[in-house]
Amino acid sequence: MQTEGEYDLSTGAGLTACPRCDALHVERELEPGETARCLRCNTLLASPRAGAFTRIIALSFASLVLMVGAVFFPFLEISRMGFGNETSLFGVALAFSHGALMPLTVAVLGMIVGLPVLRALLLVYTLLPLARKRRPFAHAVPAFRLSETLRPWSMAEIFVIGTAIALVKVGGLANISFGPAFWAFCGLILVNAASNAFTSAATIWDAIEDAGMATDGREIVPEPRA
Amino acid sequence: MSAPAHDAPVLTAHRAGLVGCRSCGRAWPEAETICRRCGSALVPPDRRCLNAVWAWLAAGLIFYIPANLFPMLKTSTFGGLRGNSESTILGGVVELMHYGNYGIAAVIFAASVMVPVGKFVAIAWLATVAGRPATVEAAHKRLVLYEVVEFIGRWSMIDVFVVAILSALVQLGFVASIHPGPAAVSFALSVAFTMLSAQSFDPRLIWRGLPLRSRKDHE
């Protein structure tokens, strides 16, 4: 069992290494609102926020609801000279469903629908017990690790900017109107951005550890705890 | 970068005989191979990761070639009467400039030519100089470059999404229809491989004077 501020250079207990430059820091429990940055390269190490877990869970549920709307409502509609066409999010992914382009359908669906949904579910799974100060569910560790690994591949926000560019390109050709799914998707981006702002991976790892998961008793336990 | 002690001596985990977890930050004795907190693999900051960087980078470059040679979009207007056009990435930019849309042409050119090529050059340069002794200022610059590459990499996928949206949306039968071309797949693969290349690069190498070479200061 470690107490605060103590460290052991032979085992690494009580130390944190910056993931970007490997500089060693002595670990300390941060108060909510505090921010830890690397001394050498200024990389953000941890930034716990008060009530962050509850908010991330709420935002994850919000993003799931919005995603259902985004998938099932019409996305965009165009018309020109009496010809019209309407597409949903699935329609966009299925644009690649001819012949050799087929695998791209799966990839696009994954990047704009599958991974955001999966990440929201994984975050809820990891954080639900932690927010209620319970022991984490089984496999919370690989669940959260998977969620962090998938983070760069979840590209919903890039898709929305892509929509903007596509609209500029078509703008001269036909009249365009937005469906409810488009607005749901825009909302989804804001919700995800907020959720990312509250997520501090180091803090969540600490919380998983403090809540009694895994490890060998090296974790720093805050002083006042019965 | 903010002020904190640019040349203050910093003890790195590696020099202390420890290995830091890149996923959760916990420091472990060098003999450990798996972080017991987050379960990810512990890798010491050495040049072994560069093999993966070069391999993914080569794959990305290879797929970037057909991405430019084959058409990205196939457009037919008025049942082909006003012409069927197949446009490659560069062809699309030129076409936009013909119509006087210089602004959009510049955006597309930046997103699908300058950014991917810049990424290839930046990663290749980072991997070449990785581990060479650097001054602290040079290391800070390299880290910024790495972060830019890592951040901007995913945004290249925007082109693929634009193609998908256009071809799903513009299906007006006789009037106009747009279909995706084979370049979309190779462009998507190229972007994915470059992302993997950037992810395989270990930024801790930037900060390490390479022990294999004589450690003489460059300045």
Name the residue ranges covered by the structural domains of chain B: 1-44, 46-207
Distance of residue A60 Cα from the nearest chain B Cα, in angstroms: 22
Same domain, A145 and A178: yes
Average model confidence (pLDDT) across chain B: 81
Q: DSSP assignment, residue B22?
A: T
Chain B residues with CB-CB distance to A173 below 8 A: 170, 176
A26 occurs within a structural domain: yes
Same domain, A87 and A161: yes
Same domain, A123 and A34: no
Same domain, A112 and A29: no
Using pLDDT thresholds of 50, 70 and 90, give the confidence band for residue B35. confident
Same domain, A40 and A90: no
pLDDT at B56 over 90: yes
A209 occurs within a structural domain: no
Same domain, A67 and A172: yes
> How many other C-beta atoms can be found within 10 angstroms of the C-beta atom of residue A208?
26
| A39 inside 8 A of chain B by CB | yes
Out of B27, B162, B203, the one facing A24 most closely (by C-beta) is B27
Same domain, A101 and A31: no
Answer yes or no: do B172 and A145 touch at CB < 8 A: no
Residue range B11-25: average pLDDT? 84
Closest residue of A to B137, CA-based? A41
Asked if A30 and A6 touch (Cβ cutoff 8 Å), the reply is no
B187 phi-psi bin (left φ>0, alpha ψ -120 to 50, beta other)? alpha
Same domain, A62 and A142: yes
Per-residue pLDDT at B8: 54
Same domain, A26 and A71: no
- pLDDT tens for B183-192 read 888 999 999 9
A210 occurs within a structural domain: no
| A18 inside 8 A of chain B by CB | yes
- pLDDT tens for A103-121 read 888 888 889 899 999 999 9
Answer yes or no: do B170 and A174 touch at CB < 8 A: yes
Same domain, A110 and A39: no
pLDDT at A219 over 70: no
| B140 inside 8 A of chain A by CB | yes
- pLDDT tens for A19-41 read 888 888 888 888 888 888 888 88
A92 occurs within a structural domain: yes
More confident call, A171 vs A38? A38
Residue range B170-188: average pLDDT? 82
A206 occurs within a structural domain: no
Where do we find the tokens 């941890």? A46
Highest mean pLDDT among A70-74, A77-81, B188-192: B188-192
Find the domain containing A189 and state its range: 51-199
Asked if B170 and A170 touch (Cβ cutoff 8 Å), the reply is yes
Residue range A200-223: average pLDDT? 67
pLDDT at B163 over 80: yes
- Rg over CA atoms, chain A: 22
Per-residue pLDDT at A212: 66
Distance, in Å, from the CA atom of B34 to the CA atom of A8, rounded to the nearest integer, reads 19
Residues 41-70, chain A: which have Cβ within 8 Å of B? Answer: 41-42, 45
Closest CA to B181 of B68, B61, B65, B63: B68
Q: Is ipTM > 0.85 here?
A: no
Per-residue pLDDT at B133: 66
| B22 inside 8 A of chain A by CB | yes
What's the number of domains chain A is made of? 2
More confident call, A123 vs A14? A123
Chain B residues with CB-CB distance to A202 below 8 A: 24-25
Residues 62-81, chain B: which have Cβ within 8 Å of A? Answer: none
Neighbouring-strand partners of residue A176: A78
Per-residue pLDDT at A191: 93
Residue range B56-80: average pLDDT? 85
Answer yes or no: do B18 and A94 touch at CB < 8 A: no
Chain A residues with CB-CB distance to B182 below 8 A: 100-101
Classify B43 as helix, strand or coil.
coil
Neighbouring-strand partners of residue A177: A77
Using pLDDT thresholds of 50, 70 and 90, give the confidence band for residue B218. very low
Closest CA to A176 of A186, A189, A163, A187: A163
Same domain, A40 and A85: no
- Which CATH number covers residue A88? 1.20.140
A205 occurs within a structural domain: no
User: Which of B35, B70, B161, B189 is best to mutate for the A interface (most A CBs within 10 A)?
Assistant: B161
Per-residue pLDDT at B1: 36
Residue range B141-146: average pLDDT? 89
A208 occurs within a structural domain: no
More confident call, B63 vs B98? B63
What is the β-pairing status of strands B27-29 and B18-20? antiparallel
More confident call, A7 vs A129? A129
Same domain, A123 and A37: no
Out of B24, B155, B207, the one facing A205 most closely (by C-beta) is B24
A128 occurs within a structural domain: yes
**What is the separation of C-alpha B88 from the centre of its chain, rounded to a whole number of angstroms?**
21
- pLDDT tens for B148-158 read 999 888 888 88
Tokens of A50: 């008060």
